[in-house]
Chains A and B, each alone.
Chain A
Amino acid sequence: AQSVAQPEDQVNVAEGNPLTVKCTYSVSGNPYLFWYVQYPNRGLQFLLKYITGDNLVKGSYGFEAEFNKSQTSFHLKKPSALVSDSALYFCAVRDMGRDDKIIFGKGTRLHILP
């Protein structure tokens, strides 16, 4: 079965520094990967996706993610963090097994320190 793991419950980064939120996945076949962000008391917002093509995917709000097939990773990155980036980030993978659905990681809370 497909799965996705976010090894860090929380990441702290100083404002202006680059940030990375880690995600690893396990799939059979070609992966369909996503990143979502959740702000307090809100639903999830789509940031970006990887289906095929370039390994570096650009998304909303200046975020990008790097797909690495050999390391089965899909880390979310941003060159310069903003305090407003503080939120809960979810990595997700499409599970195309018996039930075609999207599976989410447990989330990583990102704190940007002013």
Chain B
Amino acid sequence: KAGVTQTPRYLIKTRGQQVTLSCSPISGHRSVSWYQQTPGQGLQFLFEYFSETQRNKGNFPGRFSGRQFSNSRSEMNVSTLELGDSALYLCASSDGDRINYGYTFGSGTRLTVV
């Protein structure tokens, strides 16, 4: 059973640009959550998508957005990049069972903004 696939693994962007990250969850999983990981802040929750609908959202500015497709693949977009957006972005999939909540994480996309 394939794991969670995130592409690309590494990205370098310039301040002001926009970027799109992709996440393919485990087959059959309908929930995809995104986290931002930085050394100072740890893991910060961005948002969760379930069956193509945003189910939860963290405290990030509107520059951060996402969507989920009918095949459960999810994309995350960051517009007008800032230096502080440099981070490891992790995607986590689950079967959406809120009682037995377990995540499977991808290896992440490391974004560097210069």
Q: Which residues of A contact B104 (CB under 8 A)?
A: 46
**Binary interface encoding of chain B residues 78-114 relative to chain A, with 1 for a CB under 8 A from any of its CBs, else 0:** 0000000000001010000011111111111000000
Chain B residue at minimum C-beta to C-beta distance from A32: B101
How far, in whole Å, are A68 and B103 apart by their CA atoms in the complex? 23
Kindly identify, within residues 30 to 55 of chain A, every residue whose CB is under 8 Å from any CB belonging to chain B.
32, 34, 36, 41-46, 49, 51
* A32, A41, A43, A94: residue with the most chain B Cβ atoms closer than 10 Å: A43
Please give the distance in Å from A101's CB to the nearest CB on chain B.
5
Q: Which residues of B contact A43 (CB under 8 A)?
A: 4, 6, 90, 92, 105-108
Q: Which residues of A contact B90 (CB under 8 A)?
A: 43-44
Q: Which of B11-19, B41-49, B63-71 contacts A (4 or more CB under 8 A)?
A: B41-49
The answer on a CB contact under 8 Å between A102 and B101 is yes
Q: Which residues of B contact A34 (CB under 8 A)?
A: 101-102
The answer on a CB contact under 8 Å between B103 and A102 is yes
How far, in whole Å, are A14 and B33 apart by their CA atoms in the complex? 36
The answer on a CB contact under 8 Å between B107 and A42 is yes
B58 within 8 A of A: yes
A106 within 8 A of B: yes
Residues of A within 8 A of B (CB): 32, 34, 36, 41-46, 49, 51, 90, 94, 99-107
Given contacts A51-B99, A104-B35, 7 further A-B contacts (CB under 8 A): A34-B102, A36-B105, A43-B92, A90-B43, A100-B98, A102-B101, A107-B42
